[in-house]
Structure 1
């Protein structure tokens, strides 16, 4: 699992994604940023937008809001929030994030889970797009093979039109056997299915007729973004990296293994594609800001333990991610992983300075909206003004 808050490692220049305005100065280095609302340029055959580095070479720290909208089942210590209440809270929070100048909303996808992990992120992305004006919207990862690629192309084009180009998608296959059985898919064919889905969506976004399995297909209206929303490929292995290069896709790695980046760059050179690979830093995947971390670790423990343990149960042999907690026996074990951070405002500023980004996951594991709002209020009051130098 990776979302667009991490450092980008490129072939010739370090890059940092910049979807929307309103970030915060964090460090000095040779970074370039891009913004969907600036003038377009061509990079590796993909239309992208670029800003120059800020005056003095400062990078603005990104602040991300991530959602998967789980509610632990009845009987769990973390159970208690309703699904309708949680979805309403999500939209209220993204409107707030848009207003205060945060950078990105990231939506994830899984199917058939006991805790109701969000199965329809494209639908929610449309609601987010309609509820906001400037914040970026990313689906990470979209399990594209679980959907008819023509219908998915139409749906993503619709969201891109509502969002006026603020949309991006990290494409994945999924890895839970139950999901493949639900979709009637052969797990062994997942990567071939992924390549086919990406190819079909790109053809669809030309707006011209094309043949698909003997059918004549045409998708209109065209997306707001020429050629369609930016598609990236996710994965954690050199094989996945090489596949992304062959498809002329940028690659977002789930881990920070240099061998994965090397495989991507080598394959890009072989196929003549000037792509880039994004390697995540070992930054927390959940941040809660509080004036009393010890108290709030205890308040948040049921939700943190639910998420950490469920991800652990889903991991397949050979799969790796920077947000996977290997030892989830006790809360102290999970604390020690660094994946979850319950911090004071000053400590939150230090995280932004260290990693160049903050990932808020305010409704993680079924956290009650009122508890989540306490953290967001402190972020707005005590952290953002410091990061912005105001």
Structure 2
């Protein structure tokens, strides 16, 4: 499995740096990940966030593609319903061309009413529309409906869905599932069968709520304020434009580093050794292709970001490979 790094380009007021500098530094981190052997750099989409959450991931992906040579270039996710299918097909094709065929296109339905209002899109029909739009983008690529087309045929497409309805859509379309869940994986396989696809073609990936550090205890108080900012924007943004009440603001002390039940926390700060064991257990039995990690949590200090990228790119893959090899040795006849 590939191990990649996601950038959301948040630049909160409390830790703000000039926007041009912030984007330039983020591209340098992409180059660093590429040089250190990361499997991918990924970008995500939101609109109308005060901290400048990246609104156009494919635009930034094109810049990252031009500055790197080996990493996969992914979106986790871009929102097809906020674009015409032809525009998304063209934008994605250009990224694939610039990168020499390294694009991984993750797509999703989104969850924020204001974003749909900004683009005059229909929020209530978002799942129906996202399935239609993904089909149309793939048709345009396959039938030469845009020029130039992408290098890859087909471009790997991933569905970033977190409930049974969306997961079945990913299956029906025969695309990858950008969510690691043993429970929902069965819905995905059922969708593959429903869409006439071989269930053995199933593949999953996900963004994991993990930051790596040499000393998690020392890193936690430095990252907690940034996590509080990030989670408050998600919580407030999820009800914006609806009749639901705004949730109370969270503080740095509201986030347990590791829950007692062993499930993923909102964020875990782990050593590479701890993370490898947790990930190995959580992904066992699933056809995992990409593991994706946050590069930064809402403008956290650069020294922590740089070390996080270094550990993800260089140390974690070695540890995961060792665990996988040990697992194979336990199986009679394992290869």
- The reply to whether TM is greater than 0.5 is yes
Residue 156 in structure 1 maps to residue 156 in structure 2: no
Q: Which residue does 1:39 correspond to in 2?
A: none
Q: Which residue of 1 aligns with 2:130?
A: 194
Separation of aligned partners in 2, 1:66 and 1:117: 12
**1:372 CA drift (Å):** 2.1
| Shift, 1:202, TM fit | 1.5
> 2 CA distance for matches of 1:378 and 1:136?
18
Q: 2:10 aligns with which of 70, 76, 93?
A: 70
1:286 aligns with 2:219: no
After TM superposition, give the deviation of residue 296 of structure 1 in Å.
2.4
Q: 1:198 to 1:168 in 2, by over 3 A?
A: same
SS in structure 1 of the partner of residue 168 of structure 2: helix
Asked if 1:244 is matched to 2:180, the reply is no
Aligned to 2:21: 85
In the alignment, the residues of structure 2 paired with residue 84 and residue 264 of structure 1 have an alpha-carbon distance, to the nearest angstrom, of: 41
SS of residue matched to 2:305 = helix
The residue number in structure 2 matching 1:28 is none
Checking the alignment, whether the CA contact within 8 Å between 1:207 and 1:222 is kept in structure 2 is no
Report what 1:311 is aligned to: 234
Q: Deviation string for 1:84-130 (max 9, x for gaps)?
A: 22211111111111111111111111111111110010011111111
Change (3 A) 1:308 1:139: same
SS at match of 1:367: coil
CA distance in 2, matches of 1:334, 1:327: 16
Specify the alignment match of 1:256 in structure 2: 181
TM-superposed CA distance for 1:262, in Å, is: 2.1
Which residue of structure 1 lines up, in the alignment, with residue 220 of structure 2?
297
Q: What's the TM-score, normalizing by structure 1? A: 0.68
| Contact 2:31–2:67 (8 Å) recurs in 1 | yes
What pairs with 1:19-34 in structure 2 (closer than 5 Å)?
none
In structure 2, the partner of 1:373 is 306
Consecutive unaligned residues of structure 1, counting only runs of 5 or more, are 1-16, 19-61, 209-217, 317-325
* 3-state SS of paired residue (1:236): coil
Q: How many residues are paired up?
A: 299
Matched, 1:232 2:168: no
- Contact 1:160–1:166 (Cα < 8 Å) also in 2: yes
TM-score by length of 2: 0.78
Change (3 A) 1:380 1:103: closer
Q: CA deviation at 1:136?
A: 1.1
CA shift digits 1:17-40 (9 cap, x unpaired): 44xxxxxxxxxxxxxxxxxxxxxx
Question: Matches of 2:143 and 2:311 in 1, distance apart?
Answer: 46
Question: 2:308 & 2:157 partners in 1: Cα distance?
Answer: 32
The one of 180, 186, 196 aligned to 1:272? 196
- Does the alignment pair 1:165 with 2:101? yes
Contact 1:173 1:194 in 2 (8 A): yes
Structure with more of its chain in helix, by fraction? 2
**Shift, 1:263, TM fit:** 2.3
Q: Return closer, same or farther for 1:131/1:195 CA change in 2, 3 Å cut-off.
A: same
Taking the aligned partners of 1:257 and 1:342, their CA distance within structure 2 comes to 23
